[in-house]
Structure 1
Amino acid sequence: MQIITISKENLTQEHICCAIASNKSIMVSTKKAWMEARLDDGLIFKKGDVRGKCFIEYIPAEKAWAPISAEGYMYINCLWVSGQFKGHGNANLLLDECISDSKAKGKKGLVILSSNKNTAFLADPKFLKHKKFLLADEAEPFFQLMYLPFDTSDKNAAKPRFMPQVKSQQTSEYDKGVTIYYTHQCPFTSKYVPLIEIVANEMNIPFRTILIESAEQAQSSPTPFTTYSLFNDGKFITHEILSEPKFLKIMAALGYNR
């Protein structure tokens, strides 16, 4: 498999893997617009020369859309290999590309968001441990910040860490109803957040969305997973990008009924 690196020159024509749709799709257009704006911040998107989910996206941690402190590291937004492309060493290939590129740029290592179990939308902890990633920090209820230092000789080197505000996964006690924090880093949010808002309004659920529009805003957010996090009455509920049926199921469990 050949690896393609996305640039401003080829962004328009290249398929971006996670949203199989035309450039006219809202999912594709918002994702590509988000990517184009981040390229000047050092965003790298590498993909297999295939039409499917086989890619890695990363950015200097100082510009990461995540509430972390990891000076000198590269933050991996997403490493996704699925379907027919799994089981052929493609995840290793993409990660090795990221490692080589990050070392060439003088980075201290890699950082990625995972969990204490295999969870949707987060990096597979078993794969990361196999690749020698170490636990840097944790945040409730299951988030783990994993890192791969390139130089392991300094045992006293500061580890990457979460910002303090994400430790409890709790926003203000005065936040009532459902709040979704999200970005356009994932193409699926542009489709599903508006659909969920329609359902919430039909059910008369107190509801608001907070679109994170800058790295600074993301770094001060109350959740490690700024791509999509749903809170109810200020308490974290889920980071899964919900379809309408899943949203209704969660709302019913929280006591909201049609």
Structure 2
Amino acid sequence: MELVKLTHENMEKEHICCAISNNKDIQVMSKKNWLKDRLDEGLVFLKGNVRGKCFIEYIPAEYAWVPVEAEGYMYIDCLWVSGQFKGHGYSNLLLDACIRDSKAKGKKGLVILSSKKKMGFLSDPKYMEHKGFQTADTAEPYFELMYLPFEEDAALPRFRDSVGRQEDMPEGFVLYYTNQCPFTAKYVPILEEMAKARNAAFQSVHIQTREDAQNAPSPFTTFSLFYDGQFVTHEILSEKKFDKILTDKGV
């Protein structure tokens, strides 16, 4: 498979791999606008020359929209191979390309967000362990910060102190999200309307700067839902799943 690197020049014509093909779709627009601003910061979006989920996205950790301390590392935002492309070694192809590129750029290693067991939107811990990654830090309720050092004496990455800091949250639902994932552009407004219809206290916090993302209370800034200051989920919710959560909370 040929790998294609997104650039300012080919951004408009290339498919961004998240099962959405129309450039006029709000999800595509929000994601591509987010990507355009990150390319000049060193973000790399490398994809198979196919229309489907087969890509890796990574950026120097200093510019990553996550609350981690990993100076000198490369942070992998997303490594996603699914559907008909699974089982062909494409995950290895993409990750190996990232490793070569990161070493060529003098990085200390790679960092990626995972979980205690495989969960949606997070890297598969068993696969990452198979590729030599180790757990550097953990955060409740299930987040694992995994890293692959290129140097024996490389400093250990860690979550920032803001992770888990929830004492200032208002009562009810609080949703932190970014445009890093195109699906938030579609589902956040839907969840807001659902909460409003149920008279549920709901506040959405749209993280729009790297500084705010790096001081967020959850490791997964793309989407993290809290209720009364307690973490609920990082998984981008459909109407059905959010309806169940509203019911479980008695609203």
Counterpart selection for 1:159 from 143, 156, 179: 156
Partner residue of 1:193?
188
Partner residue of 1:224?
219
> Over residues 143-195 of structure 1, what are the superposed CA-to-partner deviations in whole Å (9 max), with x where a residue is unaligned?
0000000122x3xx4200001121xx351255111010000000000000000
What secondary structure is seen at the aligned counterpart in 1 of 2:36? helix
What secondary structure is seen at the aligned counterpart in 2 of 1:205? coil
Deviation >2 Å, runs of 4+: none
> Over residues 54-97 of structure 1, what are the superposed CA-to-partner deviations in whole Å (9 max), with x where a residue is unaligned?
00000000000000000000000000000000000000000001
> In the TM superposition, what is the alpha-carbon distance from 1:252 to its structure 2 partner?
1.1
Aligned pairs for 1:90-129 (under 5 A) are 90-129=90-129
Q: Report the AA paired with residue 39 of structure 2.
A: L
Partner residue of 2:29?
29
Instruction: Establish whether residue 183 from structure 1 lines up as the match of residue 178 from structure 2.
Output: yes
> In the TM superposition, what is the alpha-carbon distance from 1:22 to its structure 2 partner?
0.3
Q: Report the AA paired with residue 159 of structure 1.
A: L
> In the TM superposition, what is the alpha-carbon distance from 1:130 to its structure 2 partner?
0.2
Partner residue of 1:66?
66
In structure 1, C-alpha distance between the alignment counterparts of 2:250 and 2:214, rounded to whole Å: 32
> In the TM superposition, what is the alpha-carbon distance from 1:253 to its structure 2 partner?
1.2
| TM-score, length-scaled by structure 1 | 0.96
- Answer yes or no: is the 8 Å Cα contact 1:55–1:79 preserved in 2: yes
Partner residue of 2:2?
2
What secondary structure is seen at the aligned counterpart in 2 of 1:135? strand
What secondary structure is seen at the aligned counterpart in 2 of 1:237? strand
What secondary structure is seen at the aligned counterpart in 2 of 1:164? coil
In structure 1, C-alpha distance between the alignment counterparts of 2:36 and 2:104, rounded to whole Å: 23
- Answer yes or no: is the 8 Å Cα contact 1:185–1:227 preserved in 2: yes
Counterpart selection for 1:242 from 223, 237, 246: 237
> In the TM superposition, what is the alpha-carbon distance from 1:19 to its structure 2 partner?
3.5
Aligned pairs for 1:75-86 (under 5 A) are 75-86=75-86
In structure 1, C-alpha distance between the alignment counterparts of 2:178 and 2:78, rounded to whole Å: 14
What secondary structure is seen at the aligned counterpart in 2 of 1:181? strand
What secondary structure is seen at the aligned counterpart in 1 of 2:46? strand
Aligned pairs for 1:13-52 (under 5 A) are 13-52=13-52
Counterpart selection for 2:208 from 194, 210, 213: 213
RMSD (Å), alpha carbons: 0.9
- Answer yes or no: is the 8 Å Cα contact 1:135–1:146 preserved in 2: yes
| TM-score, length-scaled by structure 2 | 0.98
- Answer yes or no: is the 8 Å Cα contact 1:19–1:27 preserved in 2: no
In structure 2, C-alpha distance between the alignment counterparts of 1:245 and 1:84, rounded to whole Å: 27
> Over residues 118-163 of structure 1, what are the superposed CA-to-partner deviations in whole Å (9 max), with x where a residue is unaligned?
01110000100000001100000000000000122x3xx4200001
> In the TM superposition, what is the alpha-carbon distance from 1:255 to its structure 2 partner?
1.7
